[in-house]
Amino acid sequence: MTLWSNGPKLGLSVTPSELYLDAAATTPPLQEVIDCINAVQRHAWGNPSSLHGTGLMAAERLARSRQAIAGLFSAQVDELIFTSGATESVHLALFGVAAGCPPGRLVISAVEHPAVEGAAAQLEQRGWTVDRWPVDATGLIRMELLDQLLAPPTTLVSLIWGQSEVGTVQPVPLVASACRERRIPFHTDATQLIPQGLLDWSVSSIDLLTFSSHKLQGPRGVGVLLHRPGLLAQPLLSGGGQEGGYRAGTEPVALIAGLALALKQLPTFNPEQSLPPGSTPQIRSMRDRLQSQLATIPSLTVINATEEQRLPHHLAFLIGDVTGHPLSGRRLVQQLSRLGLACSSGSACRSGQAQDSAVLTAMDVAPSWRQSLLRFSLGPWLTNDDLELVPRLLSQAIDACT
Protein backbone atom coordinates (compact mmCIF):
# COMPACT_ATOMS: atom_id res chain seq x y z
CA MET A 1 0.00 0.00 0.00
CA THR A 2 1.27 3.48 -0.72
CA LEU A 3 0.29 6.26 1.62
CA TRP A 4 0.95 8.85 -1.06
CA SER A 5 -1.91 10.16 -3.12
CA ASN A 6 0.29 11.09 -6.08
CA GLY A 7 3.45 9.09 -5.56
CA PRO A 8 4.34 8.56 -9.22
CA LYS A 9 4.36 12.32 -9.91
CA LEU A 10 7.19 12.75 -7.42
CA GLY A 11 9.66 11.12 -9.72
CA LEU A 12 10.87 8.59 -7.19
CA SER A 13 12.04 5.31 -8.63
CA VAL A 14 10.61 3.28 -5.75
CA THR A 15 7.18 3.74 -4.24
CA PRO A 16 7.77 5.55 -0.96
CA SER A 17 6.47 3.60 1.99
CA GLU A 18 6.05 6.56 4.31
CA LEU A 19 3.43 9.25 4.43
CA TYR A 20 5.75 12.23 4.16
CA LEU A 21 4.92 15.10 6.56
CA ASP A 22 8.39 16.63 6.82
CA ALA A 23 8.44 19.38 4.18
CA ALA A 24 10.36 21.69 6.52
CA ALA A 25 13.29 19.23 6.43
CA THR A 26 13.26 18.67 2.68
CA THR A 27 10.76 18.11 -0.12
CA PRO A 28 10.46 15.53 -2.89
CA PRO A 29 11.70 16.99 -6.19
CA LEU A 30 8.98 17.40 -8.80
CA GLN A 31 8.99 14.95 -11.70
CA GLU A 32 9.33 17.78 -14.24
CA VAL A 33 12.29 19.13 -12.26
CA ILE A 34 14.04 15.76 -12.41
CA ASP A 35 13.31 15.51 -16.16
CA CYS A 36 14.67 19.02 -16.70
CA ILE A 37 17.86 18.28 -14.72
CA ASN A 38 18.42 15.09 -16.72
CA ALA A 39 17.91 16.92 -20.02
CA VAL A 40 20.27 19.77 -19.11
CA GLN A 41 22.85 17.31 -17.80
CA ARG A 42 22.71 15.52 -21.16
CA HIS A 43 22.68 18.50 -23.51
CA ALA A 44 24.26 21.41 -21.63
CA TRP A 45 26.82 19.63 -19.49
CA GLY A 46 29.74 21.88 -20.46
CA ASN A 47 31.56 24.35 -18.27
CA PRO A 48 29.69 27.65 -18.70
CA SER A 49 33.00 29.56 -18.50
CA SER A 50 34.48 27.72 -21.53
CA LEU A 51 34.66 29.57 -24.83
CA HIS A 52 33.83 26.65 -27.15
CA GLY A 53 30.40 25.61 -28.32
CA THR A 54 29.89 23.05 -25.55
CA GLY A 55 30.63 25.69 -22.93
CA LEU A 56 28.49 28.27 -24.68
CA MET A 57 25.51 25.92 -24.59
CA ALA A 58 25.88 25.58 -20.83
CA ALA A 59 26.40 29.33 -20.47
CA GLU A 60 23.26 30.02 -22.46
CA ARG A 61 21.24 27.61 -20.28
CA LEU A 62 22.65 29.17 -17.13
CA ALA A 63 21.86 32.67 -18.35
CA ARG A 64 18.29 31.66 -19.20
CA SER A 65 17.76 30.15 -15.75
CA ARG A 66 19.28 33.17 -14.04
CA GLN A 67 17.05 35.49 -16.05
CA ALA A 68 13.97 33.41 -15.23
CA ILE A 69 14.71 33.34 -11.49
CA ALA A 70 15.54 37.05 -11.36
CA GLY A 71 12.29 37.73 -13.24
CA LEU A 72 10.21 35.73 -10.77
CA PHE A 73 11.52 37.96 -7.95
CA SER A 74 11.54 41.19 -10.03
CA ALA A 75 15.27 41.32 -9.28
CA GLN A 76 18.21 42.25 -11.49
CA VAL A 77 20.32 39.33 -12.67
CA ASP A 78 23.38 40.71 -10.85
CA GLU A 79 21.45 40.68 -7.57
CA LEU A 80 21.36 36.89 -7.63
CA ILE A 81 24.17 34.62 -6.39
CA PHE A 82 23.89 30.85 -6.70
CA THR A 83 25.36 28.94 -3.78
CA SER A 84 25.25 25.32 -2.59
CA GLY A 85 22.27 25.96 -0.27
CA ALA A 86 20.91 28.14 2.50
CA THR A 87 23.77 27.44 4.93
CA GLU A 88 26.29 28.81 2.45
CA SER A 89 24.07 31.78 1.52
CA VAL A 90 23.77 32.76 5.19
CA HIS A 91 27.55 32.61 5.65
CA LEU A 92 28.19 34.58 2.46
CA ALA A 93 25.69 37.25 3.53
CA LEU A 94 26.95 37.71 7.08
CA PHE A 95 30.69 37.33 6.44
CA GLY A 96 30.45 39.32 3.21
CA VAL A 97 28.92 42.33 4.95
CA ALA A 98 31.09 41.95 8.05
CA ALA A 99 34.24 42.08 5.91
CA GLY A 100 33.38 45.62 4.86
CA CYS A 101 33.29 47.21 8.30
CA PRO A 102 35.09 47.07 11.65
CA PRO A 103 33.69 44.53 14.17
CA GLY A 104 30.39 45.84 15.53
CA ARG A 105 27.15 44.43 16.88
CA LEU A 106 25.23 41.73 15.02
CA VAL A 107 21.59 41.32 16.10
CA ILE A 108 19.94 37.97 15.38
CA SER A 109 16.75 36.53 16.85
CA ALA A 110 16.82 34.00 19.68
CA VAL A 111 15.14 31.48 17.34
CA GLU A 112 17.52 31.31 14.37
CA HIS A 113 18.42 28.18 12.44
CA PRO A 114 21.81 26.66 13.42
CA ALA A 115 23.22 28.02 10.11
CA VAL A 116 22.85 31.60 11.38
CA GLU A 117 23.93 30.67 14.90
CA GLY A 118 27.06 29.05 13.43
CA ALA A 119 27.97 32.09 11.33
CA ALA A 120 27.31 34.40 14.29
CA ALA A 121 29.60 32.31 16.52
CA GLN A 122 32.41 32.71 13.98
CA LEU A 123 31.87 36.47 13.84
CA GLU A 124 32.10 36.54 17.65
CA GLN A 125 35.56 34.98 17.34
CA ARG A 126 36.45 37.83 14.98
CA GLY A 127 35.57 40.45 17.58
CA TRP A 128 31.87 41.00 16.86
CA THR A 129 29.27 41.23 19.61
CA VAL A 130 26.17 39.10 18.98
CA ASP A 131 22.87 40.06 20.64
CA ARG A 132 19.83 37.81 20.44
CA TRP A 133 16.44 39.44 20.01
CA PRO A 134 14.20 37.87 22.70
CA VAL A 135 10.92 36.23 21.63
CA ASP A 136 7.53 35.73 23.29
CA ALA A 137 5.88 32.39 24.06
CA THR A 138 4.89 31.95 20.38
CA GLY A 139 8.42 32.55 19.12
CA LEU A 140 7.68 36.07 17.85
CA ILE A 141 10.36 38.73 18.38
CA ARG A 142 9.38 41.32 21.01
CA MET A 143 8.78 44.39 18.86
CA GLU A 144 8.94 46.77 21.84
CA LEU A 145 12.70 46.14 21.82
CA LEU A 146 13.17 47.34 18.23
CA ASP A 147 14.57 50.81 18.98
CA GLN A 148 16.88 49.47 21.65
CA LEU A 149 18.26 46.66 19.48
CA LEU A 150 18.70 48.75 16.34
CA ALA A 151 20.47 51.56 18.19
CA PRO A 152 24.28 51.94 17.80
CA PRO A 153 26.53 49.97 17.81
CA THR A 154 24.28 47.63 15.75
CA THR A 155 25.85 47.27 12.30
CA LEU A 156 24.15 44.16 10.95
CA VAL A 157 20.81 42.40 11.55
CA SER A 158 19.74 38.88 10.55
CA LEU A 159 16.23 37.62 11.22
CA ILE A 160 14.73 34.26 10.29
CA TRP A 161 11.48 34.83 8.34
CA GLY A 162 9.72 31.49 8.88
CA GLN A 163 10.98 29.51 11.86
CA SER A 164 11.58 25.88 10.91
CA GLU A 165 10.82 24.18 14.26
CA VAL A 166 7.75 26.12 15.42
CA GLY A 167 6.60 27.85 12.22
CA THR A 168 6.55 31.42 13.53
CA VAL A 169 6.58 34.07 10.77
CA GLN A 170 8.50 37.14 11.94
CA PRO A 171 7.52 40.71 10.94
CA VAL A 172 10.44 40.85 8.50
CA PRO A 173 9.11 43.70 6.28
CA LEU A 174 8.73 45.94 9.36
CA VAL A 175 12.18 45.20 10.72
CA ALA A 176 13.73 45.52 7.24
CA SER A 177 12.19 49.00 6.85
CA ALA A 178 13.39 50.03 10.30
CA CYS A 179 16.91 48.86 9.39
CA ARG A 180 16.78 50.69 6.06
CA GLU A 181 15.86 53.96 7.88
CA ARG A 182 18.89 53.47 10.12
CA ARG A 183 21.17 52.36 7.26
CA ILE A 184 21.78 48.97 8.88
CA PRO A 185 22.21 46.08 6.40
CA PHE A 186 19.42 43.57 6.92
CA HIS A 187 19.56 39.85 6.06
CA THR A 188 16.70 37.38 6.31
CA ASP A 189 16.88 33.59 6.27
CA ALA A 190 13.75 32.98 4.18
CA THR A 191 14.43 29.28 3.61
CA GLN A 192 11.07 28.22 5.04
CA LEU A 193 9.10 31.18 3.73
CA ILE A 194 9.92 31.26 0.01
CA PRO A 195 8.42 27.76 -0.52
CA GLN A 196 5.11 29.38 0.51
CA GLY A 197 5.29 32.20 -2.03
CA LEU A 198 7.55 34.46 -4.12
CA LEU A 199 8.14 38.06 -3.11
CA ASP A 200 8.75 41.19 -5.18
CA TRP A 201 12.38 42.01 -4.39
CA SER A 202 12.23 45.32 -6.29
CA VAL A 203 9.91 46.93 -3.71
CA SER A 204 11.29 45.20 -0.63
CA SER A 205 13.50 46.83 2.03
CA ILE A 206 15.41 43.59 2.59
CA ASP A 207 19.10 43.88 1.66
CA LEU A 208 20.08 40.20 1.66
CA LEU A 209 17.77 37.19 1.37
CA THR A 210 18.64 33.51 1.64
CA PHE A 211 16.70 30.50 0.39
CA SER A 212 17.33 26.92 -0.64
CA SER A 213 16.10 24.86 -3.58
CA HIS A 214 15.45 21.57 -1.77
CA LYS A 215 12.74 23.09 0.44
CA LEU A 216 10.58 23.94 -2.58
CA GLN A 217 10.61 20.70 -4.57
CA GLY A 218 13.79 21.65 -6.41
CA PRO A 219 17.07 19.70 -6.33
CA ARG A 220 19.42 19.50 -3.32
CA GLY A 221 22.77 21.30 -3.65
CA VAL A 222 21.75 24.72 -4.85
CA GLY A 223 20.67 27.83 -2.98
CA VAL A 224 20.35 31.54 -3.61
CA LEU A 225 21.48 34.75 -2.01
CA LEU A 226 19.64 37.84 -3.22
CA HIS A 227 21.71 40.93 -2.45
CA ARG A 228 21.83 44.67 -3.08
CA PRO A 229 24.95 45.46 -5.14
CA GLY A 230 27.80 46.98 -3.14
CA LEU A 231 26.92 45.38 0.21
CA LEU A 232 29.13 42.29 0.07
CA ALA A 233 32.73 43.31 0.60
CA GLN A 234 34.22 39.83 0.21
CA PRO A 235 33.33 36.42 -1.24
CA LEU A 236 33.17 33.36 0.96
CA LEU A 237 34.85 31.25 -1.72
CA SER A 238 37.33 32.93 -4.00
CA GLY A 239 38.97 31.51 -7.11
CA GLY A 240 37.54 31.40 -10.60
CA GLY A 241 35.51 34.59 -10.32
CA GLN A 242 32.11 33.02 -11.10
CA GLU A 243 28.90 34.67 -9.86
CA GLY A 244 30.26 38.17 -10.34
CA GLY A 245 33.27 37.26 -8.21
CA TYR A 246 31.07 36.56 -5.17
CA ARG A 247 31.14 32.76 -5.35
CA ALA A 248 33.88 30.87 -7.14
CA GLY A 249 33.33 27.38 -8.52
CA THR A 250 31.85 25.96 -11.71
CA GLU A 251 28.11 26.55 -11.62
CA PRO A 252 25.81 23.48 -11.37
CA VAL A 253 23.87 24.44 -14.51
CA ALA A 254 21.45 21.51 -14.35
CA LEU A 255 20.57 22.09 -10.69
CA ILE A 256 20.03 25.79 -11.32
CA ALA A 257 17.73 24.95 -14.25
CA GLY A 258 15.79 22.61 -11.93
CA LEU A 259 15.52 25.33 -9.30
CA ALA A 260 14.16 27.78 -11.89
CA LEU A 261 11.45 25.30 -12.84
CA ALA A 262 10.52 24.52 -9.21
CA LEU A 263 10.24 28.25 -8.42
CA LYS A 264 7.82 28.74 -11.32
CA GLN A 265 5.29 26.54 -9.50
CA LEU A 266 5.12 28.86 -6.48
CA PRO A 267 2.47 31.52 -5.87
CA THR A 268 3.44 35.16 -5.27
CA PHE A 269 2.78 37.36 -2.27
CA ASN A 270 3.06 40.93 -1.07
CA PRO A 271 6.19 41.36 1.07
CA GLU A 272 4.69 44.29 2.97
CA GLN A 273 2.31 41.81 4.60
CA SER A 274 3.89 39.55 7.14
CA LEU A 275 2.12 36.46 5.81
CA PRO A 276 1.88 35.34 2.21
CA PRO A 277 -1.88 35.70 1.56
CA GLY A 278 -1.71 34.04 -1.84
CA SER A 279 0.23 31.13 -0.49
CA THR A 280 -1.07 27.66 -1.06
CA PRO A 281 -4.56 28.05 0.52
CA GLN A 282 -5.30 24.38 0.01
CA ILE A 283 -2.28 23.40 2.11
CA ARG A 284 -3.32 25.81 4.84
CA SER A 285 -6.82 24.33 4.94
CA MET A 286 -5.41 20.80 4.93
CA ARG A 287 -3.20 21.79 7.89
CA ASP A 288 -6.16 23.35 9.74
CA ARG A 289 -8.28 20.25 9.15
CA LEU A 290 -5.50 18.01 10.47
CA GLN A 291 -5.07 20.24 13.50
CA SER A 292 -8.76 19.98 14.40
CA GLN A 293 -8.67 16.19 13.95
CA LEU A 294 -5.71 15.97 16.33
CA ALA A 295 -7.58 17.96 18.99
CA THR A 296 -9.13 14.69 20.22
CA ILE A 297 -5.71 13.48 21.41
CA PRO A 298 -5.18 14.28 25.09
CA SER A 299 -1.95 16.00 26.22
CA LEU A 300 -1.33 17.57 22.81
CA THR A 301 -0.64 21.32 22.94
CA VAL A 302 -0.32 23.22 19.68
CA ILE A 303 2.43 25.80 20.07
CA ASN A 304 2.35 27.59 16.74
CA ALA A 305 1.74 31.34 16.78
CA THR A 306 -1.56 32.93 15.70
CA GLU A 307 -2.87 32.34 12.19
CA GLU A 308 -1.30 35.49 10.72
CA GLN A 309 2.11 34.77 12.23
CA ARG A 310 2.45 31.17 11.26
CA LEU A 311 3.70 29.24 8.23
CA PRO A 312 0.64 27.89 6.40
CA HIS A 313 1.96 24.34 6.06
CA HIS A 314 3.30 23.99 9.59
CA LEU A 315 1.86 22.23 12.65
CA ALA A 316 3.99 22.04 15.80
CA PHE A 317 2.87 20.68 19.14
CA LEU A 318 4.15 19.43 22.47
CA ILE A 319 3.07 15.95 23.29
CA GLY A 320 2.61 14.05 26.53
CA ASP A 321 1.11 10.78 27.72
CA VAL A 322 -2.46 10.41 29.05
CA THR A 323 -1.32 11.42 32.52
CA GLY A 324 0.14 14.66 31.15
CA HIS A 325 3.81 13.72 31.39
CA PRO A 326 6.04 14.83 28.51
CA LEU A 327 7.03 12.22 25.92
CA SER A 328 10.25 12.19 23.92
CA GLY A 329 9.69 13.75 20.48
CA ARG A 330 12.56 11.72 19.01
CA ARG A 331 11.07 8.43 20.23
CA LEU A 332 7.70 9.40 18.80
CA VAL A 333 9.28 10.21 15.44
CA GLN A 334 10.98 6.81 15.36
CA GLN A 335 7.76 5.06 16.37
CA LEU A 336 5.72 6.97 13.78
CA SER A 337 8.24 6.00 11.13
CA ARG A 338 7.73 2.34 12.02
CA LEU A 339 4.02 2.97 11.50
CA GLY A 340 4.66 4.55 8.09
CA LEU A 341 4.60 8.27 8.88
CA ALA A 342 7.63 10.55 8.38
CA CYS A 343 7.74 13.68 10.55
CA SER A 344 10.19 15.46 12.79
CA SER A 345 10.82 16.46 16.37
CA GLY A 346 12.40 19.79 15.42
CA SER A 347 15.18 20.95 13.16
CA ALA A 348 16.44 18.11 10.94
CA CYS A 349 19.99 19.33 11.65
CA ARG A 350 19.56 18.60 15.34
CA SER A 351 17.59 15.37 15.08
CA GLY A 352 20.67 13.23 15.80
CA GLN A 353 21.03 14.76 19.24
CA ALA A 354 18.82 14.35 22.31
CA GLN A 355 19.02 17.82 23.77
CA ASP A 356 16.70 20.63 24.73
CA SER A 357 15.53 22.66 21.75
CA ALA A 358 17.16 26.10 21.82
CA VAL A 359 14.03 27.47 20.13
CA LEU A 360 11.69 26.09 22.83
CA THR A 361 14.12 27.38 25.48
CA ALA A 362 13.97 30.87 23.96
CA MET A 363 10.16 30.62 23.98
CA ASP A 364 10.36 29.83 27.71
CA VAL A 365 8.70 26.42 27.37
CA ALA A 366 8.98 24.55 30.70
CA PRO A 367 12.30 22.61 30.80
CA SER A 368 10.61 19.20 31.12
CA TRP A 369 8.80 19.78 27.76
CA ARG A 370 11.73 20.97 25.67
CA GLN A 371 12.33 17.55 24.10
CA SER A 372 8.65 16.86 23.46
CA LEU A 373 8.10 18.73 20.19
CA LEU A 374 6.51 17.05 17.20
CA ARG A 375 6.35 18.82 13.84
CA PHE A 376 4.16 17.97 10.87
CA SER A 377 4.92 20.05 7.78
CA LEU A 378 2.82 19.53 4.67
CA GLY A 379 3.26 19.91 0.94
CA PRO A 380 1.32 19.73 -2.33
CA TRP A 381 1.98 15.99 -2.67
CA LEU A 382 -0.58 15.34 0.11
CA THR A 383 -4.38 15.28 0.15
CA ASN A 384 -6.94 15.31 2.96
CA ASP A 385 -7.49 11.60 2.34
CA ASP A 386 -3.81 10.88 3.02
CA LEU A 387 -4.07 12.66 6.34
CA GLU A 388 -7.16 10.78 7.59
CA LEU A 389 -4.89 8.13 9.11
CA VAL A 390 -2.66 10.54 11.04
CA PRO A 391 -4.63 10.84 14.33
CA ARG A 392 -4.83 7.04 14.62
CA LEU A 393 -1.12 6.60 13.87
CA LEU A 394 -0.21 9.26 16.40
CA SER A 395 -2.39 7.65 19.10
CA GLN A 396 -0.70 4.29 18.41
CA ALA A 397 2.75 5.89 18.63
CA ILE A 398 1.86 7.57 21.92
CA ASP A 399 0.65 4.24 23.33
CA ALA A 400 3.90 2.55 22.22
CA CYS A 401 6.04 5.30 23.80
CA THR A 402 4.14 5.47 27.09
Ligand X SMILES: Cc1ncc(COP(=O)(O)O)c(C=O)c1O
**What residues make contact with ligand X under the rule CB under 6 A?**
85-87, 113, 115, 160, 164, 189, 191-192, 212, 223, 348-349
DSSP H helices, 136-244, are 146-150, 172-181
Q: With respect to ligand X, which residue has the nearer C-beta, 218 or 326?
A: 218
Q: Measured from the CB of residue 6, what is the shortest distance to ligand X in angstroms?
A: 24
In the complex, minimum distance from the CB of residue 46 to ligand X, in angstroms, rounded to a whole number: 26
Return the number of the residue (192 or 372) whose C-beta is nearest ligand X: 192
DSSP-derived pairing of the beta strands 154-160 and 186-189: parallel
Count of helices and strands (H, E) across the chain: 12, 12
Beta carbons of 65 and 57 less than 8 angstroms apart:
no
Min dist. Cβ of residue 191 to ligand X (A):
4
Give the pairing type, strands 314-319 and 300-302: antiparallel
Contact yes or no for 300/317 (Cβ under 8 A): yes
Q: Give whichever of 204 and 212 is closer to ligand X, judged by the CB atom.
A: 212
CB closer to ligand X, 204 vs 347: 347
Question: Hey, which residues are catalytic here?
Answer: 349
Q: What 3-state DSSP class applies to 227?
A: strand
Phi-psi region of 239 (alpha: psi -120 to 50; beta: other; left: phi over 0): left
Find the shortest distance in angstroms from Cβ 192 to ligand X.
5
Report d(CA 269, CA 311) in Å as an integer: 13
Report residue 155: phi and psi, to 5°: -120, -10
Return the residue nearest ligand X (CB atom): 85
CB of 60 to ligand X, least distance (A): 27
392-to-298, 339, 399 alpha-carbon distances in Å? 13, 10, 11
59 vs 311 by CB, closer to ligand X: 311
- The interaxial angle of helices 281-294 and 390-401, nearest 10 deg, is 50
